[in-house]
């Protein structure tokens, strides 16, 4: 039985992408984004519990996609769980947390929208969580010069880029740490404000460190991002 679970949050509507369908079901090279996202998880070195959090009215569709992805990877579906998501991303993570198997002691939370994430990045996060006992998130150095700008458009200052990281998912945590931090956030009225898992865990006083991310783990948010993903896949398999 798996000791690692990956919660794939796929319950968002994809407002900024602007399709009629929820984002996880939008097609990229003839396959839904969720299907691509599951390639990253089924490609991991060790067998994991996969918890897919889907829009409440699309759970059956998401299950069909997961079953198809498992078959493609010749993986069993015994450790694939489907649950309905909530109003916010954090509500969706909560629904996923409720489905963890008792054997799980490391939890990864991953955005389905990061559909091209290499499996090796997921393996790397698991290994780093095990090695440190801390929260671990992938991040990339920020390459652009970042300015602080007033509402008027006036430049207030330049941010020191050397201490910035653009963080990605999967974000990994020891299960007990993540569960305790979520409970702490709810008790202290912090749950709404802490929109990312690492912020929530760090807010409760736990160490979280950044490891090297991967350019392919970018989040598909806008139509331009989807176009970029399409071009990347075209180049990989013309
Ligand atoms: N997500 C979720 N449940 C929500 C909101 C978001 O599971 N209530 C998931 C999305 O499906 C996505 C990830 O969280 O995989 C990151 O969110 P984002 O990229 O913002 O996706 P959406 O919320 O769907 O997009 P938008 O904000 O443009 O509506
Ligand atoms: Mg969103």
At residue 23, the 3 state secondary structure works out as helix
DSSP label of 129: H
pTM check: above 0.95 = yes
Q: Is the CB of 9 under 6 A from ligand 1?
A: yes
Average pLDDT over residues 152-171: 95
Domain boundaries, the chain: 4-236
* CATH code that applies to domain 4-236: 3.90.550.10
**pLDDT tens for residues 50-96?**
999 999 999 999 999 999 999 999 999 999 999 999 999 999 999 99
What does the pLDDT read at residue 22?
Answer: 98
What does the pLDDT read at residue 191?
Answer: 85
What does the pLDDT read at residue 203?
Answer: 92
Q: Is the CB of 165 under 6 A from ligand 1?
A: no
What does the pLDDT read at residue 209?
Answer: 96
Average pLDDT over residues 194-198: 88
Does 238 score more than 80 pLDDT? Answer: no
Cα–Cα distance, 193 to 184 (Å, whole number)? 13
- Tell me the residue length of the chain: 238
What does the pLDDT read at residue 176?
Answer: 98
Question: Of ligand 1's atoms, which has the minimum distance to the CA of residue 13?
Answer: 24
Question: Over the chain, what is the mean pLDDT?
Answer: 96
What does the pLDDT read at residue 96?
Answer: 98
Q: Is the CB of 16 under 6 A from ligand 1?
A: yes
Q: Residue 182 corresponds to which tokens in the numbers above? A: 């979520």
Nearest CA to ligand 1 atom 10: 12
């Amino acid at each position: 039985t798996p000791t690692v679970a990956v919660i794939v949050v796929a319950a968002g509507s994809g407002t900024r992408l602007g399709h009629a369908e929820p984002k996880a079901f939008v097609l990229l090279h003839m396959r839904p984004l969720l299907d691509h996202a599951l390639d990253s998880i089924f490609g991991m070195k060790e067998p994991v519990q996969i918890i897919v959090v889907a829009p409440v009215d699309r759970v059956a569709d998401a299950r069909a996609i997961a079953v198809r992805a498992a078959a493609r990877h010749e993986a069993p579906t015994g450790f694939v769980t489907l649950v309905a998501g909530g109003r916010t991303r954090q509500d969706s993570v909560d629904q996923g947390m409720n489905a963890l198997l008792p054997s799980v002691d490391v939890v990864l939370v991953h955005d389905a929208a990061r559909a091209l994430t290499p499996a090796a990045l997921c393996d790397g996060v698991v290994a780093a969580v095990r090695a440190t006992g801390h929260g671990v998130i992938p991040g990339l150095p920020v390459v652009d010069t970042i300015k602080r700008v007033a509402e008027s458009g006036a430049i207030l200052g330049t941010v020191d880029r050397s201490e910035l990281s653009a963080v990605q998912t999967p974000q990994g945590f020891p299960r007990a740490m993540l569960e305790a931090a979520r409970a702490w956030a709810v008790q202290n009225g912090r749950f709404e404000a802490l929109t990312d898992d690492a912020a929530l865990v760090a807010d409760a006083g736990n160490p979280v460190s950044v490891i090297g991310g991967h350019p392919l783990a970018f989040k598909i948010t806008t139509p331009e991002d989807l176009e970029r993903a399409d071009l990347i896949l075209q180049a990989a398999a013309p």
